[in-house]
Amino acid sequence: MIEVNERIEVASTPQAVWTILSDPNAVVECVEGAALGEKQEDGSFDAKMAVKFGPAKISFAANVMVAYDEANKSGSVTARGKDSISGTKFKTAMQFRVEGQDTPPQSAIPIKAECELSGRLAHLIESGANLVIQRMTASFAEKLAERCGGTKAA
C-alpha cells in the first residue's frame, strides 16, 4: 500500500485553481505521461499513464472516475488499471480540495491518496514510489501554476 499526503501551493486564486482542477481535460494536461481517453456511459474515463521508476517505464491503462463537490471546492478520484506488459495492477483512491484566499492570491491543494498494487512489478514500484510521487507532484504544481497564470509557491 502506498500512501500519499502532499500539499501543492500556487500563487493564484482558489477559483482559478478550482476551474482547472474541475476539468479532467485540463488536469491531464498538467500530469506528465498522462492521456485521457473516451468518456464512458457511467461518467468514467479511459486513461493512460506512463511512469518512470528508475530505468523502468511502466505504462498503465486505466478507468478513472472523478467526483466533484463544487460548493466545497473538493473532489475525489478513483482509478484502477494495469500494465499490459507485466500485468501489474493498481487501484487508487484520492481526495483533494482547494483552500486559499483571493488577496493576495494564494491557493493550497491538500491531496490524500492510497494506492494498492499487485503483480510482478509491485515491489519495484513501491520501493521507488516516494521519489516518483515527489517528482510528479512538483511537475504537476508547476504546470498547474502556469495554467492558472500564477506561480508555484515556495
DSSP letters for 109-144 = EEEEEEEEEESTTHHHHHHHHHHHHHHHHHHHHHHH
Residue 27 DSSP one-character state: H
Count other Cβ atoms within 10 Å, centred on residue 72.
9
State the pLDDT confidence band at 154, using cuts at 50, 70 and 90: very low
- Given this model, what pLDDT does residue 152 score? 55
Tens of pLDDT along 77-119?
999 999 988 888 999 999 999 999 988 899 999 999 999 989 8
Which has the minimum average pLDDT: 30-44, 75-89, 119-133, 136-150?
119-133
Q: Give, in words, the CATH class of 2-148.
A: alpha beta
> Is there a contact between 36 and 44 (Cβ–Cβ < 8 Å)?
no
Tens of pLDDT along 33-45?
999 999 999 999 9
Report which of 60, 65, 61 is spatially closest to residue 45, judged by C-alpha positions.
65
> Is there a contact between 36 and 25 (Cβ–Cβ < 8 Å)?
yes
State the pLDDT confidence band at 132, using cuts at 50, 70 and 90: confident
Take residue 140 and report the three cell numbers written for it: 504537476
How many whole angstroms separate alpha carbon 72 and alpha carbon 132? 29
Q: Residue 75: beta bridge partners?
A: 68, 96
Task: Please report where in the chains the cell 482542477 appears, as a residue.
Answer: 21
State the pLDDT confidence band at 54, using cuts at 50, 70 and 90: confident
* DSSP annotation string for 95-106: EEE-EEETTTTE
* Greater model confidence, 139 or 125: 139
